[in-house]
């Protein structure tokens, strides 16, 4: 099962390694304090950017979910690799197939690009003898 990794301190904002006594939400809001400091290994700009993307996908799907059609998250290869790394799995062969219920598809897009689309019924389909 895939689960999203999070920085030790809880903040999805870009930051370097640090000791922390305050637990934070993704936006940096303090939600609690610790008696003993803990250690956070930090969070890169790419990880922070992916978190922004995931929130945008979640919000867009919630706003546009009334059609009942499935969603497809199309990402460039340069987004797919770090996105896979943002999720942890007990099975190293497991691939990230869905994000918030949207199918993840690697497409020929400019580096760093992603887009969320509703999957529409096919315009044509058929079979070919093989």
How many C-beta atoms surround the C-beta of residue 81 within 10 A?
12
For the entire predicted model, the pTM comes to: 0.81
Contact 9, 47 (CB under 8 A): no
Reported as a pLDDT band with limits 50, 70 and 90, residue 65 is confident
Residues 88-100 pLDDT 10s: 887 777 788 888 8
**In-domain check, residue 51:** yes
What is the side-by-side order of every strand in the sheet holding 71-75? 98-99, 102-106, 71-75, 114-118
Nearest to 116 by CA among 94, 92, 99: 99
**In-domain check, residue 125:** no
Contact 2, 88 (CB under 8 A): yes
Whether residue 73 is found in the same domain as residue 98: yes
The whole domain housing 28 covers 2-40
The confidence score (pLDDT) of residue 79 equals 94
């Amino acid at each position: 099962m895939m689960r999203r990794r999070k920085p030790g301190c809880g903040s999805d904002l870009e930051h370097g390694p640090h000791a922390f006594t305050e637990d934070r939400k993704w936006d940096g809001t303090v939600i609690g304090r610790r008696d003993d400091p803990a250690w956070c290994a930090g969070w890169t700009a790419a990880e922070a950017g992916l978190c922004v993307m995931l929130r945008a996908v979640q919000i867009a799907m919630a706003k546009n979910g009334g059609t009942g059609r499935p969603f497809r998250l199309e990402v460039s290869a340069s987004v797919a690799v770090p996105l896979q790394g943002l999720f942890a799995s007990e099975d190293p062969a497991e691939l990230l197939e869905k994000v918030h219920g949207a199918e993840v598809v690697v497409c020929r897009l400019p580096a760093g690009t992603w887009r969320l689309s509703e999957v529409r019924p096919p315009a044509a389909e058929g079979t070919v003898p093989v």
